Amino acid sequence: MPYQRIPARIDTDSRPPEAPAPATLPPSVARLAARTRLSAELLAAIMAVDGRTRATLDDMERADALADVLLARRRQRAGRQRPEPTQDSADRSDNGITAAHA
């Protein structure tokens, strides 16, 4: 029988161990982490809506694709410059339809 080290103390605490405080991540790693979290949340939502307990590969690929699209839209919105208000933009409602067409 090979030698097995016996722990000096057995932890009987039912709580999971605390994770160390996250260090500042490089932007590329932070983006990947955000995409992974969003993809996992979307997969969970897909499963909940469908009332299933097991995911298929198609479900995972769909969640990843949705996460990519949502994050791209978020980047696009964040990258847009807000133009100076003009008379033409003052005539538009929040959804971009002119007041004359509303």
Residue 25: the pLDDT is 84
- pLDDT interval class at 12 (50, 70, 90): low
pTM for this prediction: 0.54
Using one digit for the tens of pLDDT, what is the confidence trace for 50-66? 999 999 999 999 999 99
What is the three-state SS of 58-102?
HHHHHHHHHHHHHHHHHHHHHHCCCCCCCHHHHCECCCCCEHHHC
Share of the chain above pLDDT 90, in %: 45
